[in-house]
Amino acid sequence: MLLVPDIDDRNYRFITLSNGLDVMLISDPKVDRAAAAMDVNVGYLADPPSLPGLAHFLEHLLFLGTRKYPSENDYAQYLNENGGFSNAYTDAQNTNFYFEIAAGALDETVLEPALDRFAQFFVDPLFDASCTERERLAVDSEHTKNIQNDDWRVQQLERDLSAEGHVFRKFGTGNLTTLKTKPESEGIDTREACIQFYNAHYSSNIMKLAVLGKESLDVLEKWVVPRFSAIKNISITPETFPVNPLGASELGKLIRMKPVKEAQTLMLTFPWPDTTDIYRKAPNKYLCHLIGHESNGSILSCLKEVGLASSLRCYVSHGAKGFDFFKIEIDLSDQGVQEWENVVYIFFQYVEMLKKSEPCKWIYDEVSVMSHLSFKYQEKIDPSSYCSSISVCMQLYKEHDVLIGPYLMEDFDAQLIKDLTATLSISRFRAILIASPENGTDGWLNAPWYGTEYCVFDLPSGLMDRLANIEQNHELHLPKENPFIPQSFFVTPENSEDVFEHPLIIKDTPTTRLWFLLDNKFKVPRTGVTLIIKSPLVYASPRLSVIAALYCELVMEALNEMTYMAETADLSCNMQTAVEGIVLAFGGYSDKLEFFVQSVTATMANFKIDPNRFTVVKEDMTRSHMNFDTENPDYHASYFLSWMLQERLWTDQEKLRELDSITLDDICTFYPLFLNPAHIETLTHGTFDREAALRLASIVESTLSPSIRPLPVSSRFTTTRTRIIPPLTDVTYRRLLPNVENTNNAVLLYFQFGAASRETSAKTLLLDQIVGEPFFDTLRTKEQLGYVVWSGARFSTGISGLQFAIQSGKSPREIEERILAFLEENVPDLLAKMTNEEFQKHCGTVAMRLKEKPKFLIASSQLFWNEITEGTYDFDRLEEISEKILTGITKDNLIDFYENFVRAEGKGRAKLSIQVWSHQSFKNIGEFADGTHQSSGDRLIVTSDSHVSELRNKWHLCSSGSTVRSIESLYAPRVLLEGQNEGL
């Protein structure tokens, strides 16, 4: 019998079709979105040697037309019309396809036609020759997007430097060279090779399908069986690779790699057996738990004590069926880079301690208990992710363990743990040191696919001699019992008098406002607590914002050993700055949450700053701000749109200029100042009852500052405002991408529509729904302008707008011209030809999406918190916009709206374009030199930050938080009030 979480009210059925295809059917009558996923047990390791990236290329082609549905965008168009989307990914031995769609009304069968289209990918795809060239370009654009990404670089470098001749050395993404230039020079037809690969590897017996819908299991089975039984079964046996790609020639090496970003990481990798088949014993979880621990006595605690590192991660990386890798990643301080050998030595001191210790069942049991609780109270996630993960799990676990498999840890095997620990030997690892070299990279090599600069050495003989004679380190020891393991699991009863539809205020004083919502919908024994300490000091200047950020990081650093223990017990804590103040977010099992919050706030008020940790945290923050320059151009475009529109947003460069001169004394004097004056606004949402919530608020306030002075009333509930772009504005802001090596450009076009009233919001969302899929299909699929192509509605502090973005190797001028041509030519024609039935379908799709309920507690809390922090308290907003779309918007209304706000001749058009130019595209620097303005017709081109600031200062700010109801109407029964009539 299939094992399911205790709170899971869905129905499941596992069936095997006549062609050997395993299917998991999931019926959820309450679901508002349906989904399906197919996992095929073949990936890029099966690529022919002459065609790297072929499996990935095939994944792209399958989306573009089948014999039954020959139109290349039929699948995407159908999903979009019904509020859906699709995606896929290619891994070493898996290719996973999935989609999500609105579940439809009770009498609708939206899912059945989607399944029919989906099934045809695996039954009779066209591999249309007209799409082949475009999708090769799409694959190449995808690869180009990742070239400057250090994660992709190190993953490929690890493959490149594995054993000669091993299948793991494959280049899985592919590019234009591997899929066009080289094969054509060798007389290879890539499309024909794709068809051959499909016929040889896409067999029903190695596929796993998961389908989730609101329909009954019988109906879902009726839909699935005839459609997916048509997939051919050629009885494939997935390949197994018993030899690890890290052999004697690859071990005992130090690989130095120059990163794109300012990164300083040491990676230690050991060849490891594939333990998938012994998932019930879960020895990897035990070892990773101990080596990755962060409490007193751990590797990381010891490294921090001597100033060598800031974080550590330990995990098993799955290579393929037959081999894995055991990995440790340590983020180093500047000192740690210089003394990386000492880092390795301390790691092996801990391993030696483990080898001399007997495996502890109580530690295993602690991890097992929390893993079991995670499964028992597993909340629902979005349907496509759920189906995708289930389809993968069906490849790994026995039928009855498909859902619980990743959580199982129930067979303690001390000898197995000892045997695996013994393989963590000084003769069986290699190290990768990722850091910018002090003396340049002369004589280094360039990796073939990403151009990564690297060099390979034998591990230093002095280090190996030290490791051969490891001395005991008494600072290293096993963790103590976890005090945060929950014991009580209370869930709110249905008839509680304190259950409301949305948060209400139960305490309102000059220094505190407490919002409270007792949950009885998600049925989990958890609570989320979010609070903002509002203080004008936190973001008053770039310098103060950096001091506040350093304070938050140092508090979290001081708490780290405790918060790590809490995290292993599913309690979380996050602390960060916002424009209005400092935000703390807690969450997890309610049983120990109050104790946890009290411990955190006590540390905030009384912690002593360790000078060594101050140095390391400051180094990390400096690198973080410096790394902004290496982000992709689309990230820069989005960031600088926010910078132009937001009332205050200090840039990374402004913060960097302040960082160096900030001292430890600056941090010490900050805490008492930022709380006087201040105001604390809190939301508790979960199984905390009224008394617990009030008690928590009192603990926070009294612990942080017993004598806190209140903010003036006028400053307590302000929010960051958005700048209003005047009608008939057409501004282009051009920036040069700092990273010289990145050849991509980006354009983001933003059209502002004004105040986000119910009607304006409805029209904005409708436009986004109608235009989004054609925008992607035209500019990404057909014209191949770039791999990153998207559009979307933008709402910020009561202002609505629509944005269109493309990242591409093409010139920003060409990109913007094509976007504008689409908006001026394609969209008006699309709107004019749209039938009323099609329009109403789009209306229904958007309305249904707005009515979708959050799938889990934290998502629900976040929606409420957004309304609170924006000062709108408009908890019924989405429901009312949905009704407006269904009853108050006509096709003619929408056309008039588009003509007024988006078309070039529109009287209300307020357009802002952010162009990010690569050095390769930005050839004539003098044409756009800093400090110049250029006009082209009515268009204003701005190229310097100072002129942008002048322009921003001319734009008015919207109102701060347009409250839709009186505060008094949001008071709960028995609310605690104090000082409500005090003056300013």
Q: Within 13 Å of residue 198, how many CA atoms lie on the same side as its CB?
A: 22
* Coil/strand/helix, residue 463: helix
Nearest one of 499, 534, 503 to 864, comparing CA atoms: 503
* Helix axes of 129-146 and 190-201: crossing angle, nearest 10 degrees: 90
Return the number of other C-beta atoms located less than 10 Å from residue 225's C-beta: 15
Nearest one of 562, 618, 614 to 586, comparing CA atoms: 562
End-to-end, the C-alpha distance of the chain in Å comes to 66
CA angle at 796 for the pair 795 and 802, rounded to the nearest 5°? 35
The catalytically annotated residue of 59, 250, 580, 773 is 59
Residue 896 CB partners (closer than 8 Å, separation 6+): none
CA angle at 95 for the pair 90 and 100, rounded to the nearest 5°? 100
Contact 915, 736 (CB under 8 A): no
Contact 54, 183 (CB under 8 A): no
Contact 254, 460 (CB under 8 A): yes
DSSP per residue, 64-100: S-BSSS-STTHHHHHHHHTT-EEEEEE-SS-EEEEEE
Nearest one of 824, 811, 810 to 909, comparing CA atoms: 824
Contact 95, 40 (CB under 8 A): yes
Q: Looking up tokens 């949450």, which residue turns up?
A: 593
Residue 530 CB partners (closer than 8 Å, separation 6+): 583, 584, 585, 586, 682, 683, 861, 865
Residues 437 and 263: their CA atoms lie apart, in Å, by 11
Contact 555, 601 (CB under 8 A): no
Residues 114 and 36: their CA atoms lie apart, in Å, by 9
Q: Within 13 Å of residue 401, how many CA atoms lie on the same side as its CB?
A: 15
Residues 721 and 899: their CA atoms lie apart, in Å, by 27
DSSP, res 778: I
Instruction: Return the C-alpha torsion angle 13, 19, 20, 22, nearest 10.
Output: -30
DSSP per residue, 633-649: HHHHHHHHHHHHHBS--
* Coil/strand/helix, residue 352: helix
Residue 59 falls in the annotated catalytic set: yes
Residues 407 and 368: their CA atoms lie apart, in Å, by 8
Long-range contacts at 599-602 (CB < 8 A, ≥ 24 apart):
599/559, 599/562, 600/559, 600/563, 600/573, 600/575, 601/699, 601/700, 601/703, 601/704, 602/703
Contact 373, 244 (CB under 8 A): no
Nearest one of 56, 932, 116, 23 to 391, comparing CA atoms: 23
- Decide the pairing of beta strands 971-977 and 504-508: parallel
Residue 288 CB partners (closer than 8 Å, separation 6+): 314, 315, 316
From residue 430, how far is each of 36, 425, 468, 792 by CA, in Å? 41, 11, 16, 45
In one-letter notation, the amino acid at residue 314 is C
Alpha-carbon Rg for the chain, nearest whole angstrom, is 29
Backbone angles phi, psi at 108, to 5 degrees: -100, 150
Catalytic residues, by residue number, are 59
